[in-house]
Amino acid sequence: MTNYAKLARLAIDKSLLKEYSNSSNERIVYMNNNTEFQIQIFNPYSYTIGVRFDFNDKSTYNYQLLVLRPGERVWLDRYLDKQSKLLFSTYEVGTSEDVKKAIAGNGKINIKFYKEKEIPVQTYRVTSSDIWCGPNVLYSSGLDNCILEQSTGGNRALINSDINFCNNALTATAANTQYTAATLASYSNDELGLGNYKDSTQISCKLNSNKMETGRIENGSRSNQEFNTVNNEFESWPFKTEEIQILPTSRKPITSQDLEKKYCYNCGRKLNQKFKFCPFCGAKQ
């Protein structure tokens, strides 16, 4: 199985965010307060996968999965179990070691990827003239997943006769509900609240020495994104896990390269030095 580097990326208004890494090689992105965002998920494999999301380093225990078919790409803007958009919200805390431990999971998104189960072919030996498949035989069409064997002098032969008795499909339970993104609604153009920075020198820590900013993933505005329920079954253990942490923009380290960049006076987005107007908010530069 090929282990692709990144299956999940964070984005604002479907624009992928630049990722940074700390000394532990953890993936980090920076956002401003009250920013609604999306998670882009891509399935590069030749089989269907299920994706589970845990936020703020806390397990949800609802076992709901987002189902992606081979080659499918999804821009998820909401929680799987509620109609709320994903929102990053910040607040101030102290700097003691106890506080740092308490907020260690803030803004973390843990993403687990599960491979769809390969359902084994069921075989049955016919010992009488009556052909019976049993009550729990999976079927798709024809005898794809229902192979019958007949004793004919020690030889095994497929029974290709009437298969109406095989039409017993498995049904999903509430605990095993998964979702697919086959039907996605269009996204709204909500304001992203990117601040009012005039240049990169102002994108720095504005808090005093005994305070710092942290942020959590909370409920945003109502999402228009809808899902279809499917009955896929997945393996119990993930074949891949990714983790991304969102930190406030005030905690983003400033480099000499940042000082040479141009930012919009109104929305704070990075611009080309030649731009006279911001392509994101239209403000004159």
Report pLDDT digits (tens) over 174-206: 333 333 333 223 333 333 233 333 333 333 333
Report pLDDT digits (tens) over 275-285: 888 888 888 88
Roughly how many angstroms between the first and final C-alpha of the chain, as a whole number?
50
The CA-based angle 11-15-18, given to 5 degrees, is 65
- Give mean pLDDT, residues 232-236: 93
CA distances from 212 to 100, 205, 248, 249 (A): 10, 8, 10, 11
Q: Which two tokens stand for residue 234?
A: 């997945």
pLDDT at 9 over 80: yes
pLDDT at 124: 59
pLDDT at 65: 95
Helix and strand tally (H, E) in the chain?
2, 19
pLDDT at 209 over 60: no
pLDDT at 60: 65
Which DSSP symbol is given to 169?
-
- Contact partners, residue 144, CB within 8 Å, separation at least 6: none
- Give mean pLDDT, residues 134-158: 37
- Contact partners, residue 201, CB within 8 Å, separation at least 6: 254, 259
Q: Can you give the pTM of this predicted structure? A: 0.61
Please choose, from the candidates 68, 75, 63, the residue with its C-alpha nearest in 3D space to the C-alpha of residue 182.
68
When mean pLDDT is compared over 74-78, 128-132, 192-196, 270-274, the highest value belongs to 74-78
**What residue has token string 């964070």?**
10
Q: To which H or E segment does residue 258 belong?
A: helix 256-259
Q: Is the dihedral of CA 182, 186, 189, 190 positive or negative?
A: negative
Question: What's the whole-number average pLDDT of the chain?
Answer: 74
Confidence class for position 130, pLDDT limits 50, 70, 90: very low
pLDDT at 208: 44
Report pLDDT digits (tens) over 46-88: 999 999 999 998 876 667 899 999 999 999 999 999 999 999 9
